[in-house]
Amino acid sequence: MAIQLLADSACDLPLSFFEENNATLIPLRVEIDSKEYDDLLSISPEQLYNHVREGKMPKTSQASPQVMQTIFRELAENKQPGIYIAFSSELSGTYQTAMMVHDQVMEDFPNLDLTIIDSKCASLGYGLVVMEAAKAIKNNGSREDILNDIRFFCQHMEHLFTVEDLEFLARGGRVSKASAFIGGLLNIKPLLHVEDGKLVPLEKIRGRKKLFKRMLELMKERGSDFEDQIIGISHGDDEEAAQQVKDMIFSELNVKDVYISMIGAAVGSHSGPGTIALFFLNQTKS
């Protein structure tokens, strides 16, 4: 029986990806004005950014244990093997909840054949891992090869990103309120990356043009074998800036392809409109 791929909405892939690849979506949750939404299912990225621009402050919560339990039990009842690639455990409790639900379901269904992987990735960096897993499953690779492939991508995925407004990261405790105020005052943009699943500030750069140039410089320093990989760009409702970065990449590097997606409601609640993120592998399989 084919392996069932599961991923949560923090991978920032569109609903069409899940439909086309017969993958199971586990939505994180977003709360606005005391109303709760399922990320990607009952709130779109565009709706989230419209709410934020109206001054509303969304809150997020991890994926529902009840939803996980239903999905995991169904896998067990159908004797179907599954692989769930989860949002970084350093940024959400979703992975820990999945492990807890897995153990609970195992009590009733000892035959549950589900591997849960902590991607230590976020947004489209996580999404590129999920895309690779879907491709490996379609190619009918062995389970061991598929898992090795997924773990390789998780381990070697680079994240470089900047936010338009530091206040969103400050609210989530990612930067200090003072840094957020000074940054906004001086047009200083933070450049961050992900290290072992956590958000880590790298540099502060004045002006977006210099920032995008620096992101490309770092990509050249850290990445390799670009002609063999798909580069990811995700954006907080700023298609124009994403396209600008894409054009810069194509003008300076020989890459296989560039995939662009909008940052979803769950991740976008913490990064805000105008976020631009770049994802690539620092090593590719020979």
pLDDT in tens, 146-168: 999 999 999 999 999 998 876 66
> Looking at the structure, do residues 117 and 217 belong to the same domain, yes or no?
no
> Do residue 134 and residue 179 come from a single domain?
no
Q: How far apart are CA 124 and CA 42, in angstroms?
A: 20
Half-sphere exposure of residue 278: CA atoms within 13 angstroms, side-chain side: 26
Task: Tell me if 286 is assigned to some domain.
Answer: no
> Within a 10 A sphere around the Cβ of 199, how many other Cβ atoms?
22
pTM over 0.75: yes
Which range is least confidently modeled, 61-70, 162-171, 190-199?
A: 162-171
Domain that holds residue 110: 4-156
Ramachandran region of residue 23, left (φ > 0), alpha (ψ -120 to 50) or beta?
beta
Residue 36 and residue 162 share a domain: no
Do 221 and 88 lie in one domain? The reply is no
Residue spans of alpha helices (H) in 3-161: 15-20, 45-53, 65-77, 94-108, 123-138, 143-156
Considering the domain boundaries, does residue 250 fall inside one?
yes
In a domain, 235, yes or no: yes
Predicted confidence band at 274 (pLDDT cuts at 50, 70, 90)? very high
Same domain, residue pair 220 and 144:
no
| pLDDT given for residue 170 in this prediction | 57
Q: Where does the pLDDT of residue 286 fall: very low under 50, low under 70, confident under 90, or very high at 90 and above?
A: low
Shared domain check, 219 and 188: yes
CA-CA-CA-CA torsion sign (117, 121, 124, 125): negative
Which of 107, 136, 156 is the last residue before a domain boundary?
Answer: 156
pLDDT value at residue 178: 45
CATH number of the CATH domain containing 63: 3.40.50.10170
